[in-house]
Amino acid sequence: MMQGKKILLGITGSIAAYKAAYLVRMLKKEGADVKVIMTPAAKDFVSPLTLSTLSQHPVLTHLFDEQSWSNHVMLGRWADVMLLAPLSCNTLAKMANGQCDNLLLAVYLSATCPVVVAPAMDEDMWQHPATQENIQKIKANGNQVIPVEKGELASGLIGEGRMAEPEEIVRYLQEHFFLTQPLHGKKALVTAGPTYEPIDPVRFIGNRSSGKMGWAIANELKKRGAAVTLILGPSHLNIEPNGILVEKVNTADEMYRAALQNFATADIAIMAAAVADYTPEHPENEKIKKNYSTLQIQLTKTKDILKSLGQQKTKQQVLVGFALETNDEEKFAKQKLIEKNADLIVLNSLKDEGAGFGVDTNKITIFEKNGQVFRFDQQPKNIVAKDIIDTLIKLYYD
Ligand code: CTP
């Protein structure tokens, strides 16, 4: 997917530099043309010979030597993307302050291409206000920062500051620079999270849905170019909308009305919410007191949002539902596909460890209305979202 793309990889002095060799190999495998620049300190951590062999280009380290002068301006113009990985605390500070005492910094300052950095340092250094200030400064200058990961650090401590894994860096580059946008111009509607059905002013009937799956789907649709509206139940997710229109609702009825209102103009609707099937018939206006030894709450059925949209669906619209089952999974998923007039049903079984509510992973099978079945392994929810949207694009927008 990176065929012919030109990537300038800057490596700085950090233990994580050993991963740069693997990163170069992965980028080359994707078809990219990779040139490597190293700071003098980086050479203490990984050998230029390894990197020149893997990249099939000489590694550049100095502005000039006795024989030649490295044209830093042309390097920055040659690249489609400049990637600094790992980015040390020291080079970060120099970037933030416009310093230029080596080839890498000279290329950075004269680069006309987008610049992406993958920081790597110990947790305390990472969290120091000066480092965080420098990160904000380079972001304000238009650079993109690939988030650091949590895990074992060079110091032996466990914490934040690890460089993102090479796989994650490659994925980031693909998504942000090299992914085509097959859903450009399309409108997508997503429901996510639980609903809370009030019993009285302080109590409700809810469920364990976190909203993570729907949020990941909304993000994936956005990355593929769609204009996304997310109707989100009362989730505790800490979200940064990032161009996604988020409508917050509480009850199944509010979600129903918001979904219906948005559906007419949507090309794609994905119902990932765990909507309450029943709601108290007469929620109390005042707090219920414990005056009785038993208490009965009469429940009434909520409206099935997916089914209602299925009844209104036009031939141009693609409707996707979920099925969360504990038994007879395939039978129930296929039943929902027909009953709700959906185009696709994404099945997750609570029998599968690492699938369903609250966890960061999911294991899905997608059933298509004409009988096609797509099975996937257990994956983090953002990868699952990618699988769902890839399948949808392949079936309806390729
Ligand atoms: N759904 C909906 N509105 C409801 C209930 C469910 O839109 N009132 C949607 C969910 O968002 C999901 C699909 O219907 O996409 C299936 O939800 P699920 O809870 O698995 O099944 P139900 O239809 O509620 O049926 P049951 O609980 O009997 O399995």
What is the model's pLDDT at position 70?
Answer: 61
pLDDT tens-digit series, residues 205-230:
999 999 999 999 999 999 898 999 99
Phi, psi of 112, deg, nearest 5: -100, -10
Give, in order, the Cα–Cα distances in Å from 85 to each of 13, 217, 381.
10, 28, 25
By percentage, how much of the chain surpasses pLDDT 90? 80
Q: CB-hemisphere CA count at 13 Å for 369? A: 16
What is the model's pLDDT at position 77?
Answer: 86
Mutate to test the pocket of ligand 1, among 305, 313, 320, 335 (most ligand atoms within 8 A of CB): 305
pLDDT tens-digit series, residues 277-288:
999 999 999 999
What is the model's pLDDT at position 67?
Answer: 58
| Alpha carbons 12 and 385: distance in angstroms, whole number | 34
Give, in order, the Cα–Cα distances in Å from 3 to each of 24, 38, 82, 93, 167.
14, 24, 16, 33, 17
Please identify which residue in the block is written with the tokens 């490295």: 70
What is the model's pLDDT at position 347?
Answer: 96
For range 127-141, the mean pLDDT? 95
| Token pair recorded at residue 348 | 């997750």
What is the model's pLDDT at position 200?
Answer: 98
- Does residue 86 have a cis bond before it (omega within 30 degrees)? yes
Atom from ligand 1 closest to the CA of residue 259: 7
Helix axes of 89-96 and 129-140: crossing angle, nearest 10 degrees: 50
**Domain 6-178: homologous superfamily in CATH:** Flavin prenyltransferase-like (3.40.50.1950)
pLDDT tens-digit series, residues 100-133:
999 999 999 999 899 999 999 999 999 999 999 9
- In the reported structure, the alpha carbon of residue 328 is separated from the centroid of ligand 1 by a whole-number distance in angstroms of 16
Cβ atoms within 10 Å, residue 77: 13
What is the model's pLDDT at position 66?
Answer: 54
In sign, the C-alpha dihedral spanning 117, 123, 129, 131 is: negative
pLDDT tens-digit series, residues 298-348:
999 999 999 999 999 999 999 999 999 989 999 999 999 999 999 999 999
Query: For 123-137, 163-177, 264-278, which range has the lowest pLDDT when averaged over its residues?
Result: 163-177
Catalytic residues, by residue number, are 207
What is the model's pLDDT at position 64?
Answer: 66
pLDDT tens-digit series, residues 239-255:
877 788 999 999 999 99
| Alpha carbons 387 and 347: distance in angstroms, whole number | 13
Cβ atoms within 10 Å, residue 193: 30
Please identify which residue in the block is written with the tokens 């949207």: 389
Same fold, 6-178 and 187-285+294-396: yes
Residue (of 304, 306, 346) closest to 325 by Cα position: 346
Contact 195, 252 (CB under 8 A): yes
Report which protein residue has its CA nearest ligand 1's atom 9: 306
CB within 8 Å of 225: residues ≥ 6 apart:
181, 182, 183, 184, 185, 186
Atom from ligand 1 closest to the CA of residue 308: 7
What is the model's pLDDT at position 72?
Answer: 72
Ligand 1: list residues with CB < 6 Å: 191, 252, 271, 273, 275, 277, 302, 304-306, 321-324, 336
Entry field: residues in the chain? 398
Phi, psi of 217, deg, nearest 5: -65, -45
Domain boundary assignment for the chain:
6-178, 187-285+294-396
Q: What is the CATH number of domain 187-285+294-396?
A: 3.40.50.10300
**pLDDT exceeds cutoff 70 at 185:** yes
The three-class DSSP label of residue 346 is: strand
Mutate to test the pocket of ligand 1, among 260, 277, 318 (most ligand atoms within 8 A of CB): 277
Query: For 27-31, 59-63, 170-174, 225-229, which range has the lowest pLDDT when averaged over its residues?
Result: 59-63
For range 183-188, the mean pLDDT? 94
Atom from ligand 1 closest to the CA of residue 303: 8
